[in-house]
Amino acid sequence: MGAFRLTTEPIEPFRLESELENTVTGALVTFAGRVRNRNEGRDVLHLFYEGANEIASTEFEHIETEARSRFEIEDIRCAHRIGKLELGEIAVWIGVSARHRGAAFDGCRYLIDELKQRLPIWKKEHYADGDSGWINHS
């Protein structure tokens, strides 16, 4: 299995973290992106995420290759949830292990920033007033 997965199941950080356990890396940096209750002044009830699995996996491989060439990273895991998500649930999780903390922090930051710009994943917000809309990061 590659470093990346799209999943309809709740993301389990400890399980993903356990895949990064080893004795050579002194640093593990993780990032969890959660569903928040307000966006641009509107009350959000829940979210729906849709993803293009094959394209996202291929594009993540490119991002991973870039991150490994820039930073001294040991290993990476990333999961992005799709389907309906409730407030507070984890939408995306990234873990980066490295020998030293600098590479782990930098690598994690690079992965989440590139992921948000590039992976074919779309978020639809459902609001308290009954309206809904697709969100555009660009």
Partner 1 sequence: MQDQPGAIVTVTWHAMLREKTGRAQEEVSTRAATPAELFLELAARYEFSIPADSIRFAVNGEIVSSKDGLQNGDRVSFLPPVSGG
Judged by beta carbon, residue 27 or residue 79, the one nearer partner 1 is 79
Q: How many Cα neighbours within 13 Å face the side chain of 123? A: 23
CB closer to partner 1 out of 27 and 121 = 121
Chain centroid offset of residue 43 CA: 23
Closer CB to partner 1, 99 or 126, in the complex: 126
Interface characters, 105-134, with partner 1 (x: CB under 8 A): -------x--xxxxxxxxxx---------x
Residue that has been written with the tokens 């959000």 in this structure: 44
Q: Which of 51, 63, 98, 106 binds partner 1 (CB under 8 A)?
A: 51
Q: Kindly state the smallest distance separating residue 92's Cβ from partner 1, in Å.
A: 5
Per CB under 8 A, 55 contacts partner 1:
yes
Distance CA 37, CA 31 (A): 19
Q: How many helices (H) and strands (E) does the chain have?
A: 3, 9
Return the SS3 of 131: coil
Measured distance CA(25)–CA(11) in Å, rounded: 23
Query: Shortest approach of partner 1 to residue 121 CB, angstroms?
Result: 3
> Which residues lie near partner 1 (CB under 8 A)?
33, 49-52, 54-55, 58-59, 80, 91-92, 112, 115-124, 134-138
